[in-house]
Amino acid sequence: MKVAIGADHGGVELKQDLISLLKELNIDYTDVGSHCADSVDYSDFGLPVAEMVANGEADRGILICGTGIGMSIAANKVKGVRCALVHDLFTAKVTREHNDTNVLAMGARVIGPGVALEIARVWLSTEFEGGRHARRIDKISQYENRVTGG
Ligand code: RB5
């Protein structure tokens, strides 16, 4: 598995903790930034990570900003991306099983690094259940194709 990871200034510290987790799990990753604490725009990092997932350069994406909201809104504008904003372990597991989410967004000002790392661990290791859930996702993809003409 290859993961693309990005954060704005609100999430840059947590991004480093998540990168340490990816290394521990032997997961290949691309860090798109930001690389410092200066104020930046979450969309400049959320959109490239989402595009990497959409075009197959990465299998999954992880995005962190202050709340995770801006990142999740941006990522979900990219065709083929299903991004979940997650702040608890139950949702981390079920959004993989039911929604086959390929991007995880978290808010570094909402949860601490301990919870965030456990969420990432669960989200990275949980499989999609398919079946009736695949039918539901297909309907979203069909809608996406219809409105984008592709
Ligand atoms: C930046 O101050 C903050 O707005 C951003 O990190 C995020 O919370 C946006 O949704």
HEC letters along 49-108 = HHHHHHCCCCCEEEEEECCCHHHHHHHCCCCCCCEEECCCHHHHHHHHHCCCCCEEEEEC
Confirm or reject: Cβ of 42 under 6 Å from ligand 1. yes
Our answer to whether residue 65 is catalytic in this structure is: yes
Q: Enter the pTM of the model.
A: 0.98
Split into its structural domains, the chain has a count of 1
69 lines ligand 1 (CB under 6 A): yes
Q: What is the CATH number of the domain that holds 32?
A: 3.40.1400.10
SS3 content of the chain, % helix, strand, coil (to 5): 45, 15, 35
> In angstroms, rounded to a whole number, what is the distance separating the alpha carbons of residues 132 and 148?
25
Mutate to test the pocket of ligand 1, among 65, 69, 73 (most ligand atoms within 8 A of CB): 65
Chain segment 72-126, per-residue pLDDT in tens: 999 999 999 999 999 999 999 999 999 999 999 999 999 999 999 999 999 999 9
* Boundaries of domain holding 120: 2-148
Q: How confident is the model at residue 150 (pLDDT cuts 50, 70, 90)?
A: confident
